[in-house]
Amino acid sequence: MNKEQIINTHSHINMLKERSVEEALQNCIDENITIIVPSYDDKSIFEVDELTKKYEKVFGYVGVFPEEVKCFSDKTLTDMGNIIKNNNKIIGVGEIGLDYYWDKSFVDLQKEVFIKQIEFANQMNLPINVHCREAYFDTLNILKEHNKNSQVIMHCFSGSLEFAKECIKRSSAKHSS
């Protein structure tokens, strides 16, 4: 009997400590699970690119995580663009977003890089994988103002019911238009 196809839309399989990527992926193959691996900085975008080329069941997002935005530069965007152009298994931009839980000392930079990456994803016509932690109001406002055409996959969700409803409302509005 065919096993149901399951897609894990956010797995840092390359950051596992207790087992190898091969070992973890063997489980996925056995269970018919496809994995999408997000990157988190200017170096891991290349790691994700390689993983998707090496393993059939692995797809990827390229992007810079809010806590890592200090490494972000114009070159990062150029690199992301080149990776996307040459690899059709890179299917989104992520993980990107805002995180006020760990360190609030560079919130402005987080916002700036988040916006740049949203605009980049819009240009590329790719979905965005949004990490949002204790930054619900700002995340929603930035998405409302800057996201034109990218589908949004919310991640690291621990927000309120109101915030969830607002996300759902916006996504159904997009689908029906």
# binding residues, Zn ion (CB under 5 A): 1
Q: What is the DSSP letter of 5?
A: P
Which residues are registered as beta bridge partners of 130? 96, 154
Site for Zn ion in 75-134 (CB under 5 A): 95
Give Cβ neighbours of residue 81 (< 8 Å, ≥ 6 apart): 120, 124
* Distance of closest approach, residue 10 Cβ to Zn ion, in angstroms: 6
* Distance of closest approach, residue 173 Cβ to Zn ion, in angstroms: 26
Which is closer to Zn ion, CB of 67 or CB of 95? 95
Which is closer to Zn ion, CB of 37 or CB of 142? 37
CA distance 74 to 63: 12
Site for Zn ion in 29-48 (CB under 5 A): none
Percent helix, strand, coil in the chain, to 5, is 50, 20, 30
Which residues are registered as beta bridge partners of 59? 36
118: helix, strand or coil: helix
Helices (H), 87-149: 107-124, 136-146
Which is closer to Zn ion, CB of 42 or CB of 95? 95
* Distance of closest approach, residue 117 Cβ to Zn ion, in angstroms: 15
Tell which residue, 87, 162, 157, has the closest CA to residue 126.
87
* Distance of closest approach, residue 94 Cβ to Zn ion, in angstroms: 8
Q: Tokens 């994995």 label which residue? A: 35
By beta carbon distance, the residue nearest Zn ion is 95
* Distance of closest approach, residue 93 Cβ to Zn ion, in angstroms: 13
Which is closer to Zn ion, CB of 8 or CB of 123? 8
CA distance 47 to 38: 10
Which is closer to Zn ion, CB of 71 or CB of 82? 71
- Per CB under 5 A, residues contacting Zn ion are 95
